[in-house]
Amino acid sequence: MADTRLKAALAGGEFIVAPGVYDLISALIADRMGFPALYVTGYGVVASYLGLPDAGLATYRDMIERIGQIAKMTGTPIIADADTGYGGLLNVRHTVRGYEAAGVTAIQLEDQEFPKKCGHTPNRRVVPSDEMVRKIKVACDSRSSADFLVIARTDSRTGLGLDEALRRGEAYAAAGADIIFIESPESEAEMVAIAQRIAAPVMANMVYGGRTPLMSAERLREIGFAAAIFPAAGFLASAAALEAAYSDLRENGCSTGRAAMYSFEAFNRMIGFPEVWEFEKRYVVLD
């Protein structure tokens, strides 16, 4: 079931900052930080699971199994990327029902043509807006709870310009989307225009090295945004840390401490070893 806290937080004017998580280690760490939501990034899941780019290569089945496990093992409301809904209108219905049953609280659907691409890479193409409107209506009608939120994303800004992106954002809000996500605006002035034009709550995508200028949560809230996702923060930091640790090992034949290391004891606690040890004390005869 959807977590009621996310909708309530939006209604109460709380600004939603959602870090990107892509596997259970990142999700367990972020879950303890007190964020109002976690964002399961398609880019990060595809990269960590398949070792491939976010280019429409992952299937519904690839994603739902990982998203469901993240939702099961965490207590924070989950926003999850669902690309284009993995097909036509019937696929969208199936995806919405599957994500909701898996414990997701908000599903993100986009108006790209299939196969989709990462929103901060070139050569993205979008479907006609009326096709996306139908998807949004199907998504809203397919959920079992009004606490399950539909996020409608448009990738039209890069190829068709800001005016078209704003027009689509308005149409998607009118179709029933709870949150509007206009991908890849290219200046703070464009961000201000989005927040002023769209009547529904709007979400920003803060990607390090992406097309959109990085802005603080305070500034985004000030100009009228309701939420921001930081999808790449986790996997970019993890990649840098892994490269440093493995380079240290390769160059020195051991881990010298030059690269930052998570405490092994703390890691054991995070993933639940104390519960295993307590179980063994009660039920298992150990040599």
Question: How many domains does the structure of the chain reveal?
Answer: 1
Residue numbers of the domain that contains 59: 4-238
Q: What is the pLDDT of residues 215-261, one digit of tens each?
A: 999 999 999 999 999 999 999 999 999 999 999 999 999 888 888 88
Q: What is the pLDDT of residues 112-125, one digit of tens each?
A: 987 666 656 566 78
| 96, containing H or E segment | helix 89-101
In a domain, 267, yes or no: no
User: Against a cut of 0.85, is the pTM above it?
Assistant: yes
Question: Would you say 125 and 111 are in contact if contact means Cβ atoms under 8 Å apart?
Answer: no
Please, what is the average pLDDT of the chain? Answer: 93
In a domain, 254, yes or no: no
Exposure string (b/e) for 106-133, b if CB count within 10 Å is 16 or more?
Answer: bbbbbbbeeebbbbbeeebebbebeebb
For 240, half-sphere exposure in the C-beta direction (CA atoms, 13 angstrom radius) is 6
Quick one: pLDDT band at residue 286, thresholds 50, 70, 90?
Answer: low
- What separation in angstroms does the CA of 141 have from each of 169, 222, 283? 19, 33, 48
In a domain, 93, yes or no: yes
Average pLDDT of span 8-26: 97
In a domain, 230, yes or no: yes
In a domain, 52, yes or no: yes
DSSP conformational letter for 257: S
Using alpha carbons only, give the angle 114, 149, 231 rounded to the nearest 5 degrees: 60
| CATH code, 53 | 3.20.20.60
Q: What is the pLDDT of residues 67-76, one digit of tens each?
A: 999 999 999 9
In a domain, 245, yes or no: no
